[in-house]
């Protein structure tokens, strides 16, 4: 029992990332009908927003510290970040420590702006083109974004720490009444899951309970009719694209402490996220979220030693196996609407 | 000639002449000049041109004719490489059986994957092929280590049996791949003043196979079978309503293009007898998509051009560094020189992928027919025949 709970918990953080990216992909596909291969790159840019903010906050000036000397006897220099200088070590150090959560605020405008530019500048021209062309052009865009990031940040992963409070792990099992030291779980992963749940909840609430969301849902169901009612649906869809980009970016920001950001993390996640979207059903938002968590948890179950002993290598391929079975047995995915891209 | 009409014969002859004279054509700059680094006429790179040309021709038979976008074609390339190396390990160092086996194994592999994947079309087909390729990649890395030698990659060793050949060559090393005794690495060097032309046996072996593959592709394009595949692309639903089962046709196209990929993989192994799992990764599948689209999907010569273009850039463009740039712009005033170098720097050398990505996007946006369409447009511009465009554009526009 404790092993099962541990695997479910382990699957949650990856599942959250899959679910968030898949949610964004589905938003874009459901509204604009575009298959966006650059979505993984948006996730990666989000993670690099966290890196950038941390770097900006840590910009320092050098002072000579006369009390300390290095091994040659020269006075050693100390780097003091401006923030610490301005706000004092307590507040300033705290701000730097909390740079990843702060990066959420930093990333939202950036990601929405990138989403707007992408949609207005490029994707707009591809609505009428076949899906293959959309895949290809966004694939090209993903390469470009990836290379730009690589040029400025280098090819190596960049460690980006979570705030001090959330570092380390805690004994989750004790809370549930198990023996101590059975279920040890890192704080930050729990934070990530809670954050993902919050974002997903917010997106659904936005679509469900606001007039704007209602119009967007109507547009997803029948774009033409909504347009004929005199509503500028294109403008709303552009905003939705920005929103989807922001969701992917936020998923990336918060993922930075779990996995040190590198320039190809987007592509790694994208392939799996597409599988997630297809398993959940193209165009179905709840399907994307459900499939994201399901596949994340399934993946972590498949990496248990007992399972690997039984079927070697299953942890590497489980997601693809599930995808193939689902696609062949139920082409519209778990929760896809009948008739949407079923062929 | 060869059952082709006049236009195709001309095309085949041009390609024949180009590949046979490649050691001259790709070596236009004298060895002692500053431009010598743009020479691509060395065996290793020329082999890559023709091998990836075969790969792209095969991919084009599937994507260009039927419109099915496979994102997992590298799996067949990898399988071909592995089978060729196994043939070297077990049978002999002769390249012919190795290449034949890799084509057969890749064909069987494509038959299985295609049979399942072709039940769906559109993006689902892309995802299915991607899933299969990623599965093969993951398995080759982990569970199948006895067959694939995992991360290290499959290599030859002195202990291999090589029933028909020799385990150890006369000099005590691992023998090299050969064609009935003709060493694949044998290179005849012709020095002509400052020029140095290299004629490699391996290159000509690959080139002959590429010509055969190209000829076969022309025949497929012009056959009733090819016409049927085009019909699938332009309107599959209508084909179904006429009571025709299109799956055997698409499956045949898939298997043929898988065999082309297997041939390319086998040749890669024949030129350099090792095989690694990274050849199956989805980035490798993405590369062949880039090649085909860049050159011009659905055209005969396009994929070959695209493959040559990308491989040339990968090997030559990536060598340009700041020193070279400074040499080029040395004649300018210092300030402008530095500015130019700073501006160009991100796009060359290690950053050549950026150029590739931008170029690819530009091609998809403005030239859906690829470089071939670009060439035609320029040609029309000079010929001033506005009416000539409609036949080509009608053939190129991908149908829903």
Are B337 and B78 in contact by the 8 Å Cβ rule? The answer is no
Are A281 and A336 in contact by the 8 Å Cβ rule? The answer is yes
Helix (H, G, I), strand (E, B) or coil at A19: helix
Measure the CA–CA gap between B74 and B284, rounded to whole angstroms: 6
Nearest Cβ partner for B127 among A142, A148, A274: A274
Q: Compute the average pLDDT of residues A174-179.
A: 73
Residue B391, pLDDT above cutoff 50:
no
Identify the residue with better confidence: B398 or B89: B89
**Smallest Cα–Cα separation from A15: which of A253, A208, A298?**
A298
Q: Give a yes or no: residue B343 inside a domain.
A: no
Least confident stretch, A23-27, A147-151, B151-155, B259-263: B151-155
**For B19-173, where are the E strands, in sequence order?**
154-155
Cβ separation A316–B139 shorter than 8 A? yes
Q: CA of B53 to nearest chain A CA: how many angstroms apart? A: 20
Residue A292, pLDDT above cutoff 80:
yes
Q: Compute the average pLDDT of residues B210-232.
A: 93
How many structural domains comprise chain A? 1
Measure the CA–CA gap between A256 and A103, rounded to whole angstroms: 11
- The predicted model scores a pTM of 0.85
Q: Which residues are bridge partners to A81 per DSSP?
A: A60
**Smallest Cα–Cα separation from B368: which of B336, B338, B337, B392?**
B392
- pLDDT of B108 reads 96
Are A40 and A85 in contact by the 8 Å Cβ rule? The answer is no
Cβ separation B123–A136 shorter than 8 A? no
- pLDDT of B400 reads 41
Give the model confidence (pLDDT) of A108-140 as tens digits: 999 999 999 999 988 888 888 887 788 888 988
Cβ separation A140–B360 shorter than 8 A? yes
Kindly give, in sequence order, each residue whose CB lies less than 8 Å from that of residue B301, ignoring residues fewer than 6 positions away: B11, B15, B295, B372
Q: CA of B96 to nearest chain A CA: how many angstroms apart? A: 34
Give the domain CATH number at B145.
Answer: 1.10.3470
Half-sphere exposure of A55 (CA within 13 A, CB side): 10
- pLDDT of B38 reads 78
Measure the CA–CA gap between B201 and B272, rounded to whole angstroms: 13
- pLDDT of A59 reads 84
Q: Give a yes or no: residue B303 inside a domain.
A: no
- pLDDT of B1 reads 65
Determine how many CB atoms are found less than 10 A away from the CB of residue B319: 12
Half-sphere exposure of A176 (CA within 13 A, CB side): 16
Q: Give the mean pLDDT of chain A.
A: 85
Burial class (CB in 10 A: 0-12, 13-18, 19+), A115: buried
Q: What is the ipTM of this complex?
A: 0.81
Q: Give a yes or no: residue A43 inside a domain.
A: yes
Give the domain CATH number at A146.
Answer: 1.10.3470
CA angle A253, A257, A263 (to 5 degrees): 65
CA-to-CA separations, A286 to A23, A80, A333, in angstroms, rounded = 8, 48, 11
Residue B347, pLDDT above cutoff 90:
no
Q: Give a yes or no: residue B326 inside a domain.
A: no
Measure the CA–CA gap between A282 and B105, rounded to whole angstroms: 34
Give A313's contacts in chain B (Cβ within 8 Å).
138-139, 142-144
Measure the CA–CA gap between B14 and A280, rounded to whole angstroms: 50
Spell out which chain B residues touch chain A, with contact meaning CB-CB distance below 8 angstroms. Answer: 67, 69, 116, 119-124, 126-128, 130-132, 134-135, 138-139, 141-144, 282-283, 286, 289, 293, 346, 351, 353-354, 356-358, 360-361, 364-365, 368, 398-400
Give the model confidence (pLDDT) of A295-323 as tens digits: 999 988 888 878 888 877 787 788 888 88
Q: Give a yes or no: residue B310 inside a domain.
A: no
Give the model confidence (pLDDT) of A242-254 as tens digits: 999 999 999 999 9
Identify the residue with better confidence: A291 or A35: A291
Are A297 and A15 in contact by the 8 Å Cβ rule? The answer is yes
Q: Give a yes or no: residue A60 inside a domain.
A: no
Q: Which sign, positive or negative, has the C-alpha torsion B278, B280, B281, B286? A: positive
Measure the CA–CA gap between B71 and A139, rounded to whole angstroms: 12
Q: Give a yes or no: residue B117 inside a domain.
A: yes
Q: How confident is the model at residue A339 (pLDDT cuts 50, 70, 90)?
A: low
- Check residue B387 and report its DSSP letter: G
How many structural domains comprise chain B? 1
Measure the CA–CA gap between B323 and B206, rounded to whole angstroms: 35
Q: Give a yes or no: residue A200 inside a domain.
A: yes
**Best residue in B117, B357, B373 to probe A by mutation, most A CBs within 10 Å?**
B357
Helix (H, G, I), strand (E, B) or coil at A68: strand
State the DSSP string of B137-196. HHHHHTTTHHHH-TTT-EE--TT---TTS-SS-TTSS----EETTEETT-EEEEEETTEE
Residue B210, pLDDT above cutoff 90:
yes
Q: Give a yes or no: residue A56 inside a domain.
A: no
Range of the domain at B91: 6-281
Least confident stretch, A150-164, A174-188, B236-250: A174-188
Q: Give a yes or no: residue A96 inside a domain.
A: no
Percentage of chain A exceeding pLDDT 90: 20
- Check residue B89 and report its DSSP letter: H
Are A81 and A87 in contact by the 8 Å Cβ rule? The answer is no
Measure the CA–CA gap between A240 and A233, rounded to whole angstroms: 10
Give the model confidence (pLDDT) of A226-278 as tens digits: 889 988 888 888 999 999 999 999 999 998 888 888 888 888 788 888 888 88
Range of the domain at A288: 2-48+104-329
Among A77-81, A99-103, B54-58, which range has the highest average pLDDT?
A: B54-58
Give the nearest chain A residue to B63 (CA atoms): A132
Measure the CA–CA gap between B254 and B61, rounded to whole angstroms: 8
Cβ separation B354–A271 shorter than 8 A? no
Tokens found for residue A326: 């689902």
Report which secondary-structure segment, H or E, holds A67. strand A60-69
Q: CA of A101 to nearest chain B CA: how many angstroms apart? A: 31
Identify the residue with better confidence: B339 or B226: B226
Q: Give a yes or no: residue B191 inside a domain.
A: yes
Q: Give a yes or no: residue A231 inside a domain.
A: yes
Residues in chain A: 343
Cβ separation B119–A316 shorter than 8 A? no
- pLDDT of A199 reads 93
Determine how many CB atoms are found less than 10 A away from the CB of residue B190: 11
Residue B189, pLDDT above cutoff 80:
yes
**Smallest Cα–Cα separation from B303: which of B365, B372, B233?**
B372
Q: CA of B109 to nearest chain A CA: how many angstroms apart? A: 16
CA-to-CA separations, A36 to A42, A135, A335, B316, B392, in angstroms, rounded = 10, 6, 20, 32, 29
Q: Which residues are bridge partners to A169 per DSSP?
A: A186
Q: Give a yes or no: residue A73 inside a domain.
A: no
Nearest Cβ partner for A317 among B128, B138, B356: B138
Tokens found for residue B393: 């554009």
Q: How confident is the model at residue B256 (pLDDT cuts 50, 70, 90)?
A: very high
Q: Which residues are bridge partners to B154 per DSSP?
A: B275
Tokens found for residue B321: 């560094």
Q: Give a yes or no: residue B276 inside a domain.
A: yes
Kindly give, in sequence order, each residue whose CB lies less than 8 Å from that of residue A298, ignoring residues fewer than 6 positions away: A11, A318, A319, A322
Give the model confidence (pLDDT) of B114-145 as tens digits: 999 998 888 888 888 988 888 888 888 888 88
Give the nearest chain A residue to B292 (CA atoms): A136
CA angle B86, B91, B93 (to 5 degrees): 85
Measure the CA–CA gap between A147 and A67, rounded to whole angstroms: 45
Q: Give a yes or no: residue A91 inside a domain.
A: no
Residue B280, pLDDT above cutoff 90:
no
- Check residue B317 and report its DSSP letter: G
Q: Compute the average pLDDT of residues A90-99.
A: 82
- pLDDT of B394 reads 44
- pLDDT of B395 reads 45
Percentage of chain A exceeding pLDDT 70: 98
Identify the residue with better confidence: B191 or A181: B191
- pLDDT of A30 reads 81
CA angle A192, A48, A124 (to 5 degrees): 100
- pLDDT of B194 reads 80
Q: Print burial letters for A61-77: b (CB count within 10 Å at least 16), e (below 16).
A: eeeeeeeeeeeeeeeee
Q: Give a yes or no: residue B382 inside a domain.
A: no
Measure the CA–CA gap between A8 and A174, rounded to whole angstroms: 16
Measure the CA–CA gap between B189 and A343, rounded to whole angstroms: 56
């Amino acid at each position: 029992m404790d092993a099962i709970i541990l695997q479910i918990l382990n699957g949650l953080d990856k599942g959250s990332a899959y679910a968030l990216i898949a949610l964004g992909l589905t938003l874009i596909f459901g509204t604009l009908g575009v298959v966006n291969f650059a979505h993984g790159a948006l996730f990666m840019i989000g993670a690099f927003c966290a890196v950038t903010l941390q770097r900006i906050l840590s910009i320092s000036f050098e002072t000579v510290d006369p009390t300390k000397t290095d091994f040659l006897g020269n006075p050693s220099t100390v780097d003091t970040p401006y923030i610490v200088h301005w706000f004092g070590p307590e507040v300033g150090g705290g701000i730097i420590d909390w740079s990843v959560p702060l990066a959420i605020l930093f990333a939202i405008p950036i990601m929405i702006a990138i989403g707007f530019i992408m949609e207005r500048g490029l994707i707009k021209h591809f609505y009428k083109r076949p899906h293959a062309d959309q895949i290809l052009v966004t694939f090209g865009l993903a390469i470009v974004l990836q290379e730009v990031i690589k040029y400025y940040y280098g090819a190596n992963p960049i460690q980006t720490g979570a705030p001090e409070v959330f570092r380390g792990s805690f004994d989750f099992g004790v809370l549930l009444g198990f023996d101590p030291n059975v279920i040890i779980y890192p704080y930050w992963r729990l934070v990530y899951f809670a954050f993902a749940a919050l974002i997903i909840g917010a997106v659904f609430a936005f679509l469900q309970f606001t007039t704007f969301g209602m119009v967007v849902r109507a547009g997803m169901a029948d774009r033409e009719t909504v347009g004929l009612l005199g509503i500028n649906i294109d403008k709303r869809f552009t905003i939705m694209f920005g929103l989807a980009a922001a969701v992917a970016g936020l998923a990336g920001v918060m993922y930075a402490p779990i996995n040190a950001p590198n320039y190809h993390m987007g592509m790694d996640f994208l392939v799996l996220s597409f599988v997630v979207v297809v398993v959940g059903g193209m165009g179905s938002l709840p399907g994307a979220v459900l499939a994201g968590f399901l596949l994340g948890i399934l993946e972590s179950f498949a990496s248990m030693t007992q399972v690997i002993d039984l079927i070697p290598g299953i942890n590497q391929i489980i997601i693809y196996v599930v995808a193939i079975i689902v696609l062949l047995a139920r082409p519209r995915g778990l929760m896809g609407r009948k008739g949407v891209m079923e062929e | 000639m060869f059952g082709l009409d006049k236009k195709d014969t001309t095309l085949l002859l041009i390609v024949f002449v180009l590949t046979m004279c490649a050691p001259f054509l790709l070596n236009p700059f004298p060895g002692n000049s500053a431009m010598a680094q743009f020479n691509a006429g060395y065996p290793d790179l020329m082999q890559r041109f023709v091998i990836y040309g075969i790969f792209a021709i095969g991919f084009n038979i599937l994507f260009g004719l039927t419109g099915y976008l496979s994102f997992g074609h590298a799996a067949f390339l990898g399988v071909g490489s592995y089978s060729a190396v196994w043939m070297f390990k077990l049978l002999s160092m002769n390249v012919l059986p190795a290449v034949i086996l890799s084509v057969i194994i890749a064909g069987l592999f494509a038959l299985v994957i295609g049979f399942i994947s072709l039940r769906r079309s559109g993006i689902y087909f892309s995802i299915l092929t991607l899933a299969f390729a990623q599965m093969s990649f993951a398995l080759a890395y982990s569970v199948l280590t006895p067959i694939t030698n995992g991360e290290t990659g499959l290599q030859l060793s002195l202990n291999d049996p090589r029933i028909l050949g020799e385990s150890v060559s006369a000099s005590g090393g691992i023998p090299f791949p050969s064609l009935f005794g003709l060493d694949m690495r044998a290179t005849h060097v012709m020095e002509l003043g400052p020029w140095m032309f290299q004629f490699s046996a391996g290159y000509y072996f690959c080139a002959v196979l590429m010509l055969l593959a190209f000829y076969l592709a022309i025949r497929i394009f012009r056959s009733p079978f090819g016409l049927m595949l085009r019909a699938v692309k332009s309107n599959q639903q209508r084909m179904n309503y006429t009571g025709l089962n299109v799956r055997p046709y698409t499956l045949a196209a898939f298997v043929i293009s898988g065999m082309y990929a297997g041939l390319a993989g086998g040749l890669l192994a024949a030129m350099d007898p090792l095989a690694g799992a990274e050849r199956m990764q989805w980035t490798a599948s993405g590369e062949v998509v880039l090649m085909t689209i860049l050159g011009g999907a659905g055209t005969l010569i396009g994929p070959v051009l695209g493959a040559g273009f990308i491989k040339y850039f990968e090997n030559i463009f990536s060598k340009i560094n700041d020193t070279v740039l400074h040499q080029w712009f040395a004649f300018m005033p210092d300030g402008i020189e530095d500015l130019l170098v700073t501006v160009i720097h991100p796009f060359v050398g290690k950053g050549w992928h950026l150029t590739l990505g931008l170029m690819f996007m530009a091609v998809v946006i403005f030239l859906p027919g690829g470089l071939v369409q670009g060439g035609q447009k320029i040609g029309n511009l000079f010929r001033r025949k506005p009416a000539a465009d409609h036949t080509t554009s009608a053939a190129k526009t991908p149908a829903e």
